[in-house]
């Protein structure tokens, strides 16, 4: 058996500690990070945050899953029907090489059916539901105003997930 890349789902804000523990056990891990400026007590501080919050990638043979799941902070391996699924070959290496030369930061994953709130423009503050997504950055959102719906073709950068 040869090792494959898997993703572990972690407790919130435990990604770095899980990655460190796995590295200490000689397991190859990958935790992509990005720089973010945060303000605490009126001080601006640059911090490294996970690009994919809640996930750590590790290269292993599936029989090592018990070792990974034994770590505090690991909830489960990502998969279907309770079975861990390996990531496609080369996907993590492509991600790693791309992030070595390109800057990236998290962006909300918009899918049909999600509630969004419009950030700017004449409809700022109004919430709607994504009907479908077309292209990479265009959304069609249904807004229920006065018990009727309208469709807006808008840029995804103008929307945020509704809380």
Distance, in Å, from the CA atom of 150 to the CA atom of 143, rounded to the nearest integer, reads: 6
Q: Domain 115-161 adopts which CATH fold?
A: SH3 type barrels. (2.30.30)
Which residue ranges of the chain lie beneath pLDDT 70? Answer: 133-152
Residues 18-30: pLDDT tens digits? 999 999 999 999 9
Other CB atoms within a 10 A radius of the CB of residue 92 amount to 20
Give the full edge-to-edge strand order of the sheet including 55-60: 28-30, 55-60, 4-10, 74-77
Distance, in Å, from the CA atom of 32 to the CA atom of 103, rounded to the nearest integer, reads: 11
pLDDT at 150: 60
pLDDT at 118: 80
Q: Do residues 139 and 154 make contact, with C-beta atoms less than 8 angstroms apart? A: yes
pTM above 0.75, yes or no: no
Give the full edge-to-edge strand order of the sheet including 148-155: 148-155, 138-145, 127-134, 115-118, 159-161
Distance, in Å, from the CA atom of 54 to the CA atom of 108, rounded to the nearest integer, reads: 14
| Six token digits for residue 159 | 């929307």
Instruction: Enter the CATH code of domain 4-101.
Output: 3.30.70.940
**113, 152, 51, 64 alpha-carbon torsion, rounded to 10°:** 30
Domain boundary assignment for the chain: 4-101, 115-161
């Amino acid at each position: 058996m040869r090792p494959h890349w898997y993703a572990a789902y972690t407790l919130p804000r435990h990604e770095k500690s899980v990655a460190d523990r796995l590295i200490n056990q000689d397991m190859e891990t990958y935790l992509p990070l990005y720089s973010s400026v945060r303000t605490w007590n009126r001080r601006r501080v640059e911090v490294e945050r996970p690009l994919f919050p809640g996930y750590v990638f590790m290269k292993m043979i599936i029989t090592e899953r018990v070792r990974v799941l034994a770590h505090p902070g690991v909830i489960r391996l990502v998969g279907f029907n309770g079975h861990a699924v390996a990531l496609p070959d080369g996907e993590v290496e492509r991600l790693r090489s791309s992030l070595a030369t390109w800057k990236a930061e998290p962006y909300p994953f918009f899918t049909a059916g999600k509630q969004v709130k419009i950030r700017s423009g004449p409809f700022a503050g109004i919430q709607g539901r994504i009907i479908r997504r077309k292209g990479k950055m265009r959304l069609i959102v249904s807004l229920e105003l006065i018990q009727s719906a309208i469709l807006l073709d808008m840029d995804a950068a103008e929307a945020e997930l509704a809380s």
